[in-house]
């Protein structure tokens, strides 16, 4: 079998790896994991559309680009984070600019009891052994090229732990700011999140931009919920229109744990989100809600897999997509009810709107059942705005453009109706209204 053709993308990132001195260098197991993942990245190169996981997302253009190792000004450049404030979100926070932790912009003083929150770069300076399991992972699937790259080159990220029985009342905020830099920049962040038995946490993750730029960001998160833990995780992605952003989230739920995950995708030129969840404990539950609203030539690809492998587990996934102009959205939702996961209840809904004759949405729900007494349903639709609803609104004197905007916004907003935080829900609705076409 011939080796994959080397591309400017791969060459530039291998050069970057040779230039940077990463936090934790000198820790034997970490150096070995980084080295092996980098070798796998170099050997595999970028996947093409013959790889099933990347069937609808071509990486040829990205493969011809070169990226620099880092931004020398990221740690010191003046940044006003007030413009990225969220209503009611005033608790602990970590802020990163082009992947570099900014202590001056973060809030980590006077943390609530039971909460441990620090950047990965600092955690590696102390006792790194508790991070060994997560940071030693090797990604062997053909589609995991960016996870390999992240495992090899991540220089920072978030280490967040909640002690058993602790309830963190204030949401924790993670803010990732992309900023123009000299040349095209690549940055990589790695997160380790663990909630102890019976712990409870709300986590808000933002990806925003200071201005137009063309960077590459990769993020890998390992999230573990111990018995009876509860996590509410909201991700608001509004990166620069020229950015490529690849996120890879792994979620593990023990018995009676519950995770509710909300995702809004508005920005970026090429965005990929892989969400892998394992319901490993009896009666664990996962709820996912997501919206992508695209325009121009944006391309957003969401790949979600949920594995039920314990008794009486439940998952409910509701996703909406809107594509305008020449944009393209991709959604794949795969649910597996493994042998022995009797009594599982799984549902998946993917509904999508095309607002332009040149837009495209590819949606692929998948369901595999190997257990007994299972309730399961999945469905997907791709269509246009309902003409009867448009006629109804126009008959009430509402102009066509406004009627279309109202129906499209209502279609998207339904995903976030279950979000308990009224202020945050209203903020999301306002962002959607601003982003969606008004004509």
pLDDT tops 90 at residue 404: no
Q: Is 102 left (phi over 0), alpha (psi -120 to 50) or beta?
A: beta
Find, among 173, 202, 21, 203, the residue nearest to 105 by Cα.
Answer: 173
Residue 45 phi, psi (nearest 5): 65, -165
Q: Report pLDDT digits (tens) over 341-396.
A: 999 999 999 999 999 999 999 999 999 999 999 999 988 888 887 778 777 677 88
Q: Give me the sign of the Cα torsion angle 98, 104, 107, 113.
A: positive
pLDDT tops 60 at residue 33: yes
420/428 Cα distance (integer angstroms):
13
Contacts for 173 with CB less than 8 Å, ≥ 6 apart = 86, 89, 91, 92, 93, 94, 203, 204, 205, 206
| Three-class DSSP category at 394 | helix
Q: How far apart are the first and last CA of the chain?
A: 52
Find, among 346, 416, 348, 417, the residue nearest to 381 by Cα.
Answer: 348
DSSP state of 131: G
Tell me how far CA of residue 229 lies from CA of 21, 53, 278, in angstroms: 37, 31, 15
Ranking 139-143, 190-194, 236-240 by mean pLDDT, the lowest is: 139-143
185/243 Cα distance (integer angstroms):
10
Determine the Cα angle at 177 with ends 174 and 180, to 5°: 170
Cross-strand bridge partners of residue 225: 195, 253
In this prediction, residues 240-266 reach a mean pLDDT of 97
Determine the Cα angle at 361 with ends 360 and 365, to 5°: 160
The H or E element that residue 249 is part of is strand 244-253
Q: How is residue 176 written in tokens?
A: 């990732």
Neighbours of 36 (CB within 10 A): 15
pLDDT band at residue 302 under the 50/70/90 scheme: very high
Q: Report pLDDT digits (tens) over 306-331.
A: 999 999 999 999 999 999 999 999 99
Cross-strand bridge partners of residue 204: 173, 234
Average per-residue pLDDT for the chain: 93
pLDDT at 342: 97
In this prediction, residues 222-240 reach a mean pLDDT of 97
Q: Report pLDDT digits (tens) over 70-106.
A: 788 888 989 999 999 999 899 999 999 999 999 999 9
Cross-strand bridge partners of residue 260: 232, 287
pLDDT tops 50 at residue 260: yes
39/140 Cα distance (integer angstroms):
12
């Amino acid at each position: 079998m011939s080796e994959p053709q080397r591309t400017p993308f791969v060459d530039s990132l291998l050069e970057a790896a040779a230039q940077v001195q990463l936090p934790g260098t000198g820790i034997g197991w970490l150096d070995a994991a980084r080295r092996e993942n980098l070798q796998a990245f170099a050997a595999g190169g970028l996947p093409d559309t013959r790889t099933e996981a990347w069937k609808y997302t071509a990486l040829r253009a990205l493969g011809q680009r070169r990226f620099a190792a880092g931004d020398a000004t990221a740690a010191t450049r003046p940044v006003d984070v007030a413009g990225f404030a969220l209503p009611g979100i005033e608790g602990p926070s970590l802020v990163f600019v082009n992947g570099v932790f900014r202590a001056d912009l973060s809030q980590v003083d006077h943390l609530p009891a039971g909460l441990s929150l620090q950047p990965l770069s600092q955690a590696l300076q102390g006792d790194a052994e508790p991070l060994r399991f997560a940071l030693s992972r090797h990604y062997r699937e053909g589609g995991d090229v960016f996870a390999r790259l992240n495992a090899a080159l991540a220089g920072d990220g978030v280490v967040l732990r909640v002690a058993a029985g602790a309830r963190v009342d204030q949401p924790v905020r993670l803010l990732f700011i992309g900023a123009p830099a000299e040349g095209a920049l690549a940055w990589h962040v790695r997160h380790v999140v663990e909630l102890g038995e019976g712990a409870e946490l709300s986590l808000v993750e933002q990806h925003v931009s200071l201005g137009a730029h063309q960077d590459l960001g990769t993020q890998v998160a390992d999230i573990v919920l111990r018995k009876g833990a509860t996590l509410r995780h909201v991700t608001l992605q509004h990166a620069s229109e020229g950015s490529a952003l690849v996120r890879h989230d792994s979620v593990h739920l023990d018995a009676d744990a519950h995770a509710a995950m909300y995702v809004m995708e508005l920005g970026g030129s090429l965005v990929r989100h892989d969400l892998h969840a394992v319901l490993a404990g009896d009666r664990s539950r996962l709820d996912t809600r997501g919206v992508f609203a695209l325009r121009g030539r944006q391309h957003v690809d969401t790949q979600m897999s949920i594995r039920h492998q314990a008794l009486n587990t439940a998952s409910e996934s509701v996703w909406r997509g809107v594509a305008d102009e020449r944009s393209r959205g991709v959604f794949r939702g795969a649910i597996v009810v493994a042998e022995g996961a009797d009594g599982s209840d799984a549902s998946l809904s993917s509904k999508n709107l095309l607002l332009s004759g040149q837009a495209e949405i590819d949606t692929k729900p998948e369901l595999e059942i190997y257990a007994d007494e299972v309730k399961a349903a999945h469905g997907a639709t791709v269509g246009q705005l309902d003409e009867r609803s448009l006629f109804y609104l126009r008959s009430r004197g509402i102009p066509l453009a406004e009627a279309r905007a109202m129906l499209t916004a209502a279609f998207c907003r339904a995903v976030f109706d279950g979000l308990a935080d009224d202020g945050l829900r209203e903020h999301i609705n306002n962002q959607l209204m601003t982003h969606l076409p008004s004509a």
